[in-house]
Amino acid sequence: MQGVQGEMVTAEPIAQGMTTARPLRAWQRRAITKYLAAGPKNFLAVATPGAGKTVFGLRVAAELLADRIVEQVTIVTPTEHLKHQWAGAAAAAGIAIDPNFRNGAGATSSDYRGVAVTYAQVAAHPMLHRVRTEHRKTLVILDEIHHGGDAKSWGDAISEAFTPAVRRLSLTGTPFRSDDSQIPFVVYEPDGSGFLRSKADHTYGYADALADGVVRPVIFLAYSGEASWRTSAGEEFTARLGEPMTAEQTARAWRTALDPLGEWIPAVLGAADLRLQQLRRHVPDAAGLVIASDHESAKAYAKILARTTGTDPVVVLSDDPRASGRIAEFADSDDQWLVAVRMVSEGVDVPRLAVGVYATSTSTPLYFAQAVGRFVRARRPGENASVFVPSVPVLLELASQLEQERDHVLGKPDRDKDGWDDELLADANQLKDEPGEEEKAFTSLSASAELDQVIYDGSSFGTAAFAGSAEEQEYLGLPGLLEPDQVRALLRQRQSDQLSDRSRRAREQQPEAVRERAQSVAERLAALRKELNTLVAMYHHRTGKPHGMIHSELQRVCAGPPTAMASTEQLEERIATLRSW
């Protein structure tokens, strides 16, 4: 029997044992039971990265093929790399999927039970894919379905191409968006506040997965420091990462910290490598990933890592035709470091990744969640992941809210952007050969680094510790195999020891300090800033208020500029005020 454009139709049953290729996790069993009982035309499964969405999707496909409910499977992915990843997983499950299907050919071998294509491929010729879908009973698996809202053309294309499908299974680990682009085949319901909210048929969040031991606990190490830059008008500014600033100042301080010519990046990369070496004592094949914003920065970071470690890291650039192969080689190797550009959202699936450096100024919740998702895949009990981030409010908030589940809300007015939105996700995935206006508007001068705080399970631990200090080493030296409760207990102990040690040193050094020479203005300012930051950290741990909120309240009560520009008198007033609270 002939199919579309000569494609052969086969009615042969799927291979025996396909539906029992791999034991299912508890959440997968629950989701499949729900799916098979309802037999829905559309089904949205939201599962945290690393939970096993691919296994779930392929098990559904196997069941439907075995029951002859569908005759073929079409898998739609965001990237070329993921097409091949899905095809490989399908082959292991006994389902032959063609990842090399091309629109120009319009057909594939009858040996295949389906094809894997990209959203862009469907958008290029939606009618071709509609004809294929109409001709045979088809299950369409839409991987990372939130991409269906990336562009109107993509959404319209997959609607046109796959509306005739017998079944549609939508999968995502990060369904939330901050725009009003409706995602095709997703159900929206009134939320009681006058808005429409996406409704998942089955949800398995990070908190659930962590409790089940399916994913690793993630420890965020937030690094602050002072950043200095010069504007195009010749004005020089200095600000501390994490302090209350305007969106423009935050962006410039952040980008200054990420400048490979400064001190911040080398210090953080060095700390990340120390953390990786500690993890490899317990997990010998553990690896690290540096997430860079652009090609130039990635290459510069790679050189710094090479100097730090004595070994060249693997560099994967988004426009490299060999990118998928290089990622696969890295996954199977014992290489320690991978530096990637625009390969984070989807496409980097290396379960042994355990240390990350978020060296990009992209701060959309979608991008951040997908980036962190690269490090959470658990392989054995007790593994934990460490992600190094710039200490800026938007990232600290996202790190603290890792366990929150977010739905897609339509029609919500006055969205909080503060200069950061999903446009940045699209922007981060664009090739850039020329600097933008923002990059031309200022020049980075210098940036120092210090460990500001450690975030775990929504809580903050520790106080400011200079890069390379013994205090920093205490946090970098956490064992590589710890259960979640042990991580929390150790962090509390580290913090208690740190505060006790500082109090002891202050008492011991007091008599000597009296005899020391008078401090210079720079030394006095640095000492007062450090004292204020320590007090802010202590107040944070007592009240739970974010560091930035405490600094803002002090600035409001005492008046004056941000801490980085405050005078000694203003800093002393804020210290006295905070001590009185």
SS (H, E, C) 112-152: CCEEEEEHHHHHHCHHHHHHHHHHCCEEEEEECHHHHHCCH
The pair phi, psi for residue 412, each rounded to 5°, is -80, 120
Tokens 């490598």 belong to: 273
Which stretch of 128-142, 240-254, 412-426, 506-520 has the lowest confidence by average pLDDT?
412-426
Tens of pLDDT, residue by residue over 353-363, are 999 999 998 88
The CATH superfamily holding the domain 216-484 is P-loop containing nucleotide triphosphate hydrolases (3.40.50.300)
Residue 88 has pLDDT above 50, yes or no: yes
- Mean pLDDT lowest among 96-100, 231-235, 346-350: 346-350
- Give the pTM: 0.71
* pLDDT for residue 4: 43
pLDDT(505) > 90: no
DSSP-assigned letters across all residues of 401-433: TTT-----EES-SS---TT-STHHHHHHTS--S
CATH fold of 4-210 reads Rossmann fold (3.40.50)
User: What is the spatial distance between Cα 222 and Cα 392, in angstroms, rounded to a whole number?
Assistant: 8
Q: Domain extents for the chain?
A: 4-210, 216-484, 517-580
Res 408: pLDDT? 42
pLDDT at 12 over 50: no
Q: Is the pLDDT confidence value at 245 over 60?
A: yes
Region of 368 please: left (phi>0), alpha (psi -120 to 50) or beta: alpha
How far, in Å, CA of 26 to CA of 342, rounded?
Answer: 33
DSSP 244: -
Q: Which carries the bigger pLDDT value, residue 45 or residue 6?
A: 45
Q: Which residues pair with 220 in a beta bridge?
A: 387, 455
CA distances from 451 to 243, 275, 388, 390 (A): 14, 13, 10, 10
Report the mean per-residue pLDDT for the chain: 81
Dist CA 285 CA 57 (whole Å):
29
Q: How confident is the model at residue 468 (pLDDT cuts 50, 70, 90)?
A: confident
User: How many CB atoms are closer than 10 A to CB 388?
Assistant: 23
Could you give the maximum distance between any two Cα atoms of the chain, in Å? Answer: 97
Is the pLDDT at 229 greater than 70, yes or no? yes
Residue 46 has pLDDT above 50, yes or no: yes
pLDDT of residue 381: 83
User: Per-residue pLDDT for 477 more than 50?
Assistant: yes
Query: Stretch 536-553: mean pLDDT, rounded?
Result: 76
Contact status, residue 173 vs residue 47, Cβ threshold 8 Å: yes
Please check the confidence at residue 318 and state whether its pLDDT lies above 80: no
Amino acid letter, 136: R
Residues 434, 438, 442, CA angle at the centre, nearest 5°? 105
> d(Cα 336, Cα 423) in Å, to the nearest integer?
32
- Report the range of poorest mean pLDDT among 226-230, 271-275, 430-434, 456-460: 430-434
**Is 22's pLDDT higher than 80?**
no
> What is the amino acid identity at position 550?
I
3-state secondary structure of 252: helix
Pick the more confident residue, 324 or 61: 61
Q: Across 223-237, 297-311, 441-455, which has the greatest mean pLDDT? A: 297-311
pLDDT-derived band at 149 (thresholds 50, 70, 90) equals low
pLDDT digits (tens, 9 = 90+) for 378-410: 888 888 899 999 998 888 888 877 755 544 444
- Which of 297-306, 384-393, 493-502 is modeled with the greatest confidence? 297-306
* Whether residue 495 has pLDDT greater than 70: yes
pLDDT exceeds 90 at position 36:
yes
pLDDT at 463: 66
Is residue 155's pLDDT more than 60?
A: yes
Residue 179 confidence class, pLDDT cut points 50, 70, 90: low
